[in-house]
Chain A
Amino acid sequence: MTERILVLGAGPGGLVSANLLALHGYDVTVVEKSEYHLFQPGMLWIAFQGHPPEKYMRPVKDLVKPTVNLVQGKVAEVNLAERTVTLEDGRRLDYDRVIIALGAHLDYDAVPGHSSLVEEFGDYFRGADYAARFWSHFKAMSRGTLVIAAADPLYKCPPAPLKAAFLAAETLRRRGVKDSVSVVLALPFIHEYPSETVAEIVAPKLREAGVEVKTMFTVDSIDAENRVIYSLEGESITYDLAAVIPAHKGPAIRLLPEEARDDDGFIKVDKYTLQIEGYDDAYAVGDCNNAPTSKTGVTAHLGAEVVVERILGFDSRFNGRTNCPIVTDGEASFVISTYDHPPIPVKFSIFKRLLEDAFIASYWSSLRDPEKWSPIFRAYFEATDPSRVGGGW
């Protein structure tokens, strides 16, 4: 009998896993709650540069190979011991193997006042509609203070607030209002970026863009009425418009046994095999797991490839590789690291921006047909491995 593999979630990790396994003849079912897949970094471009949301959305059914079964539904419970998944509408699915790729849960209730803020202004994390809402406020802004901040140091796409600040500053400059709007980037880190190496590269760029940086500012509460953000470290900033990255938690499902999760609800995996601790038929890829690497589409994609290769019988190991782009006006850099190697110095250049634009352009195709892109990505990741280009690129 063909092995039945259940893939929970149709983000990058889920789609890459499902499409590669289908290619190898497995009986693959994907469970996804949304009809559309959103290219999440697109929210930055929607919110800060007014791109149309449709540009970054595709129907999930167009992103799976024809032999993949697609079930539209919301996962309520995963029982690892019983090998069953229950959906919110009561449907029950059995599996021989499960790949959990449900992403992180965004907790807007962790910080008082946050849900009022996001309902008023939108943001660039909650969804394309919230990003469009943010743009509707930002595009009309001609004076005052724009605050970009975070409720916790752990969130998807570590460069996201930096990109937000750069893109916002660019839009304000183009509109000729840069001098009357201050852009304040308040970060929970000690430096401008978690890694000091990256901070040293990005700091002059932020200065050039006229972005005011406040470090060690972790949002503790928001007074949406008086428009003040208070930090855990004891400071406050007054805003006219603000976007605060929410606290991230593990997926909002019931997962049995409960010991399969860490304190924040992330699913505990072996960081190399992405196997859920204690289960050889269950994996967690991407943002939903507790692997000590960045939560990004790239790590989800690469992790999915490792899981598929392991299911095929190879002893593949995930090395924690990141490739987080930081884009400014016309240039880009990448945050490149692995489990064994902290981020290397990568200079900003126009070439890297073109490379990032090429990655974005290949996004949909790389999810539906990952096998076609794997050799190209592999060549890129090998050529830019931190142990090879550790001195900088």
Chain B
Amino acid sequence: MGERIVVDAKGMACPGPITKLVKAYRKAKSGDIIEIYATDPGFKPDLEAWIKRTGNELVEISEEGGVIKAVIKVTAK
């Protein structure tokens, strides 16, 4: 089992959330789960582009009360 890394990027405007994700991804190992929370509406398309490029797995993406939650499984490292 990998580690679960929680990243809080709420209240950060573009490109804050992706910046935080890249920082977390640098430290992550294969099998880790990155759970990121963001409020920037631009985060969703950015994340999808990032997943497509890096080939990691998007396990879950949901939105509740203006907060986007994304769960990513690190598979490409």
Contact = CB atoms under 8 A, between A and B. Distances in A.
Contact of A216 (B12, B14, B42, B53): B53
B20 to A, nearest CB: 9
A264 to B, nearest CB: 8
Dominant secondary structure at the B interface: helix
B15 interface: yes
A189 B19 CA distance: 8
A232 B18 CA distance: 13
Interface in B7-44: 12-16, 18-19, 22-23, 25-26, 42
Contact of A190 (B12, B26, B49, B76): B49
Nearest to A189: B15
A152 interface: yes
A234 B55 contact: yes
Contacts of A194: 14-15, 19
Interface string A204-219: 0000000000001010
Contact of A292 (B12, B26, B50, B76): B12
Contact of B54 (A153, A154, A216, A342): A216
B18 A153 contact: yes
The 6 A-B residue pairs with the shortest CB-CB distance, nearest first, are: A194-B15, A153-B19, A216-B53, A190-B46, A233-B54, A190-B49
27 contacts: A152-B23, A153-B19, A154-B19, A190-B15, A190-B46, A190-B49, A190-B50, A194-B14, A194-B15, A195-B14, A216-B49, A216-B50, A216-B53, A216-B54, A218-B22, A232-B22, A232-B25, A232-B26, A233-B50, A233-B54, A234-B53, A234-B54, A292-B12, A292-B13, A292-B16, A342-B13, A342-B14
B54 to A, nearest CB: 5
A233 B56 CA distance: 9
Interface residues of A, number: 18
Interface in A199-254: 216, 218, 220, 232-234
Contacts of B49: 190, 216
Interface string A122-165: 00000000000000000000000000000011100000000000
Contact of B53 (A153, A196, A220, A233): A233
A196 B42 contact: yes
Nearest to A154: B19
Given A189-B18, A234-B53, 14 more contacts: A153-B19, A190-B18, A195-B14, A195-B15, A196-B42, A220-B26, A232-B22, A232-B26, A232-B54, A233-B53, A233-B54, A234-B55, A292-B12, A342-B13
Nearest to A158: B15
Contacts of A233: 50, 53-54
B16, B45, B53: most-surrounded residue (chain A CB, <10 A): B53
Nearest to A216: B53
